[in-house]
Chains A and B, each alone.
Chain A
């Protein structure tokens, strides 16, 4: 119902190739998340799938049908935009009903579906308001409501939560995951927030400059990043990278250790350094350790109760089975 296959898809704007040849398969019912730094082509890729941009070459199949030349309205996909793109002069009810109206469904069916979507999204009390009279989170839900009434083959989300405050974001994140559990419809979700990516995705697609760096489940990417870029991109705080002699002892050009895989102690451990800034989150504390002779800064995560201070010299022990090794090309050594 919602299997999307991209074959050798490329996209250029003028002379600039934004997406070099790219192959990707998104299975039916999957929650796929595109992540990558700003400007890497996430939105462009999503818009290619939606049909809002034409591919320069290559083929897009939706449900086994070649959809490359199919106009957006006929692809059976629904998109939720970053700015929500609600119609400001229509009531919430009319906004949600708009796709149904365009599909010329009869009025009773339109009402039924709108009421149903509103109930799912807790919008029933707001149906007669204008979008301008809603909060950010409510607008977001209206945008999702407008998408679900069409019963699309797949949902496309372009950074839908980036305009919301932190608390609302967590809430909406759960709601979207919940929605996916319930509808079991394919969802493609663009974000540059890797917490969103890790928590929501069945499959993460890491992009850099239009290239797919790695595709896999969140834990796969976390446990065995294919290269330095993915290793640095997935995980927060960022993985520590160490080059030179220390890496050499592990038979690698560079090694990477996540902050949560380094134990700290006052007196023993192979690495040592001086505590700089420490970030107290309550449950955890992140120490930024300098003068280690390994890398400029090493970030370590410790229990919230560990009380080192600025300027203390501490010792660190990396967990042996959690050291990632990379060769000179930045690729993972198995």
Chain B
């Protein structure tokens, strides 16, 4: 039990880290908020030194009334949701598979983790050029081998392609967390269920899945945070075309392609709000799993 003294000592010790983190978050946040109320078009001669015009909520209304706003929110949610479903479902299956005793287990486990170490930009390019290229891609060859016309992945199935690429990157993370969770399952529980007459599917449903629920919650929460801001995969593949323009990508376009810092900042604030809505939503659905 911590005494009064050791508690205040602990606060002192933690203070630098807390202050640093607070500054780290607060400075960009205030700057974003500040810019979002200003007209800031660097190419038109606006500059911080020259002073920026206050435009009130102009940027906010313009951002949401733009025709690409709602589609971008939708695209974001579809990509996040799709990737979550794919990684959790495949992650559970892979984790169960990797938990089975098999020959070459160590090597297989390392191979499964490998995609996680590939940088998003690189993996996006590799998928785009090696697999999904309609002329030379491996998929094109596969399709041709079966006599089908090659699919133009990134234009005809753009969303699915992005989800596929991002899922491939995040699957190792999900698998790894779920694998450690599965390994912590007491084998006697499974044996007890077997003796109680539970067939394999019932054992999965009644024992393994509930045991994994906490790990799945963690996977969903962590991935959502990172997936809301995926960017590189879209940038190098579709560049936001074919309906793959996410909120993050839209903000990027506003700030860098249209050079409208104020509008982009307003978008950034919307992104923060969206992220919080999603987070609250998720906490409500799955957060109860985190209670002990």
Residues of A within 8 A of B (CB): 50-52, 71-73, 77-79, 81-83, 85-90, 98-99, 102-103, 146, 150
Q: Closest CB-CB distance, B48 to chain A, in whole Å?
A: 56
Q: How far is the CB of A83 from chain B (nearest CB, A)?
A: 5
Taking CB as reference atom, which chain B residue is nearest A81?
B188
B53 within 8 A of A: no
Determine which of B188, B191, B202, B211 lies in contact with A89 in the assembled complex, contact meaning CB atoms within 8 Å. B211
B206 within 8 A of A: yes
- Binary contact readout B182-214 vs A (1 if CB under 8 angstroms, 0 otherwise): 000010110111111111001000110011010
Q: Which residues of B contact A52 (CB under 8 A)?
A: 191, 194-195
List chain B residues, Cβ under 8 A from A86.
189, 192
Q: Which of B192, B197, B210 has the most CB of A within 10 A?
A: B192
- Chain A residues with CB under 8 A of B192: 79, 81, 85-87, 146
- In contact, A102 and B197 (Cβ under 8 angstroms): yes
Check A87–B207 contact: CB distance below 8 A: yes
Q: Determine the chain B residues whose CB is within 8 A of the CB of A102 once the complex forms.
A: 196-198, 202
* Closest-CB distance, A84 to chain B (whole angstroms): 8
Checking A71, A83, A146 against B196 with a beta-carbon cut-off of 8 angstroms, the contacting residue is A146
Cross-interface CB contact of B198 among A73, A79, A85, cutoff 8 Å: A73
Taking a contact as CB atoms closer than 8 A, the residue among B189, B194, B207, B213 that contacts A72 in the complex is B194
**Contact present for A89 and B197 (CB under 8 Å):** no
Contacts of B213 in A (CB 8 A): 89
Does A83 contact B186, Cβ atoms closer than 8 Å? yes
The answer to whether A73 touches B189 (Cβ under 8 A) is no
Quick check: B194 and A98 within 8 Å, CB to CB?
no
Q: How far is the CA of A238 from the CA of B188 in the complex (A)?
A: 34
Top 8 nearest A-B pairs (CB, nearest first) are A85-B192, A85-B188, A99-B196, A102-B197, A73-B197, A89-B210, A81-B188, A85-B189
- Taking a contact as CB atoms under 8 Å apart, the answer to whether B191 and A87 are in contact is no
Please give the distance in Å from A150's CB to the nearest CB on chain B.
7
Check if A83 sits within 8 Å of B188, measured CB to CB: yes
Neighbouring B residues of A78 by C-beta, 8 Å:
195
Whether A85 lies near B211 (C-beta < 8 A) is no
In the bound complex, do residue B197 and residue A87 qualify as a contact, i.e. CB atoms below 8 Å apart?
A: no
Task: Please tell me if the beta carbons of B196 and A98 are within 8 angstroms of each other in the complex.
Answer: yes
Chain B: number of interface residues, binned into ranges: 10 to 19
Residue from A85, A99, A102, A103 with most neighbouring chain B CB atoms (10 Å): A85
Determine how close the nearest CB of chain B comes to the CB of A230; give it in whole angstroms: 30
Residues of chain A with a CB closer than 8 A to B191's CB: 52, 72, 79, 81, 85
> How far does the Cβ of B84 sit from chain A's closest Cβ, in whole Å?
22
In the bound complex, residues from chain A placing their C-beta under 8 Å from that of B211 are 88-89
What are 18 inter-chain pairs, A to B, with CB distance below 8 A?
A50-B195, A51-B195, A52-B191, A71-B194, A72-B191, A72-B195, A73-B198, A79-B191, A81-B192, A83-B186, A87-B192, A87-B206, A89-B210, A89-B213, A98-B198, A99-B196, A102-B197, A102-B202
Q: Does A150 contact B194, Cβ atoms closer than 8 Å?
A: no
Task: Tell which of B191, B193, B195, B213 has the most Cβ of chain A within 10 Å.
Answer: B195
Query: Chain B residue with minimal CB distance to A94?
Result: B206
CB contacts (< 8 Å) of A87 on chain B: these are: 189, 192-193, 206-207, 210
CB-defined contacts of B197 to chain A, threshold 8 Å = 73, 99, 102-103, 150
Q: A98 to B197, alpha carbons, bound, how many Å?
A: 9
Q: Of residues 8 to 58 in B, which have CB atoms within 8 Å of A's CB atoms?
A: none
Complex CA gap A146/B194 in Å reads: 13
Contacts of A72 in B (CB 8 A): 191, 194-195
List chain B residues, Cβ under 8 A from A90: 206, 210
Instruction: For B194, list chain A residues within 8 Å (CB).
Output: 52, 71-73
Chain A minimum-CB-distance residue to B189: A85
| Known contacts A73-B199, A89-B211, A102-B197; 9 further A-B pairs (Cβ under 8 A) | A50-B195, A51-B195, A72-B191, A72-B195, A73-B197, A79-B191, A89-B210, A98-B198, A102-B202
A73 pairs with B206, CB closer than 8 A: no
In the assembly, what is the distance between CA of A146 and CA of B196, in Å? 8
**Cα distance A263–B192 when bound, in Å?**
50
Q: Which of A78, A89, A146, A150 has the most CB of B within 10 A?
A: A89
Identify the closest chain B residue to A73 (Cβ).
Answer: B197
Residues of B within 8 A of A98 (CB): 193, 196, 198, 206
How long is the Cα–Cα vector from A86 to B186 in the complex, in angstroms? 10
Interface string of B205-239 (1 = CB under 8 A from A): 01100110100000000000000000000000000
Least distance between B82 CB and chain A CB atoms (Å): 28
With both chains docked as a complex, state the minimum distance between the C-beta of B133 and any C-beta of chain A, in angstroms: 47
Considering residues B197, B211, B213, which has the most beta carbons from chain A within 10 angstroms of its beta carbon?
A: B197
**Residue in chain B with minimal CB distance to A158:** B188
Min CB distance A206 to B, Å, is 26
CA–CA, A103 and B202, complex, Å: 12
Given A79-B192, A102-B196, A150-B196, do A85 and B186 touch, yes or no (CB 8 Å)? yes
Closest to A52 in B: B191
Taking the closest CB of chain B, its distance from the CB of A51, in whole angstroms, is 8
Chain A residue nearest in CB terms to B207? A87
Complex Cα distance A259/B188, Å?
40
CB contacts (< 8 Å) of A73 on chain B: these are 194-199
Q: For the complex, what is the distance from the CA of A88 to the CA of B184, rounded to whole Å?
A: 13
- The docked-state distance in angstroms from the alpha carbon of A51 to that of B199 is 14
CB-CB under 8 A from B207, the residues of chain A are 87
